[in-house]
Copies of this chain bind each other. A is one copy, B any other.
Amino acid sequence: MMSRSLDPHALEVVRAVGARGGVGAAAELLHVTPSAVSQTLQALSRDVGMPVTERVGRGVRLTPAGEALAAASVDVAVALERARAACDALRTDPGGEVTVSAFASGARMLFPTLLTWAQGVPGLRVVLADGDVATDQFAALTDEIDVVVGHHPEGEDPWAGIGRRVVPLLREPLDVALPLDHRLADRSWLTPQDLADERWISVREGFPVAEVLSAITGGAPHVTQRLNDFSVVEALVAAGHGISLLPRYTTSAQGRFRLLPLRGVRAARSIAALARPDRAERLAVRRVLDRLVADAASLTAPH
Determine if A8 and B5 form an interchain contact, defined as CB atoms under 8 angstroms apart: yes
CA distance A90 to B182 in the complex (A): 67
Hey, which chain B residues are within 8 Å of A49, CB to CB?
91, 95
As for how many copies of this chain the complex holds, the number is 2
Please give me the residue from chain B that is nearest to A84 by CB atom: B6
Is residue A56 contacting chain B, with contact meaning CB distance below 8 A?
Answer: no
Q: Which residue of B lies closest to A76 (CB)?
A: B79
| Residue from B6, B11, B86, B95 within 8 A of A69 (CB atoms) | B86
Is A80 positioned at the interface, with any CB of B under 8 Å from its CB?
A: yes
Task: Give complex CA distance A8, B82 in Å.
Answer: 12
CB contact between A83 and one of B75, B88, B95 (< 8 Å): that residue:
B75
Q: Is A64 an interface residue (CB 8 A)?
A: yes
**A87 near B73: Cβ-Cβ < 8 Å:** no
Decide yes or no whether A71 CB sits under 8 A from chain B. yes
* A79, B72: Cβ atoms closer than 8 Å: yes
**A83 with B87: CB separation less than 8 A:** no
- For the side of the interface on A, what is the size category? 20 to 34
CB pair A50–B6 under 8 Å, yes or no, is no
Q: When the two chains form their complex, are residues A78 and B79 in contact, meaning their CB atoms are under 8 A apart?
A: yes
Q: Is the CB of A68 within 8 A of B48?
A: no
Partner of A90, one of B68, B79, B81, B95: B68
Q: Which residues of B contact A9 (CB under 8 A)?
A: 5
- A65 interfacial contact with B, CB 8 Å: yes
CA distance A6 to B82 in the complex (A): 10
Q: Is B72 within 8 A of A8, CB to CB?
A: no
Contact A80 B6 (CB under 8 A): yes
- Chain B residue with Cβ nearest A86: B68
Interface bits A42-77 vs B (CB < 8 Å: 1, else 0): 000000111000000000000011001101110111
Q: Is the CB of A48 within 8 A of B87?
A: yes
Q: How far is the CA of A73 from the CA of B83 in the complex (A)?
A: 7
Contact A71 B86 (CB under 8 A): yes
A1-21 to B contact mask, C-beta < 8 Å, 1/0: 000011011010000000000
Alpha-carbon gap, A9 to B83, bound state (A) = 13
Expressed in whole angstroms, the Cα–Cα distance for A58 and B250 within the complex equals 63
- Indicate if the CB atoms of A87 and B68 lie closer than 8 Å: yes
Task: Kindly state the separation between the CA atoms of A87 and B81 in the bound complex, as whole angstroms.
Answer: 23
Query: In the complex, A9→B71 CA distance in Å?
Result: 21
Provide a sorted-by-A list of 15 A–B residue pairs whose CB atoms are within 8 angstroms. Answer: A5-B77, A11-B83, A48-B84, A48-B87, A49-B95, A50-B87, A50-B91, A69-B83, A71-B86, A72-B83, A75-B79, A76-B76, A76-B80, A78-B79, A79-B79
Given contacts A8-B80, A48-B84, A75-B79, 11 further A-B contacts (CB under 8 A): A5-B77, A5-B80, A5-B81, A8-B8, A11-B83, A48-B88, A50-B90, A64-B90, A68-B90, A72-B87, A76-B80
Tell me the A residues contacting B by CB distance below 8 Å: 5-6, 8-9, 11, 48-50, 64-65, 68-69, 71-73, 75-84, 86-91, 95
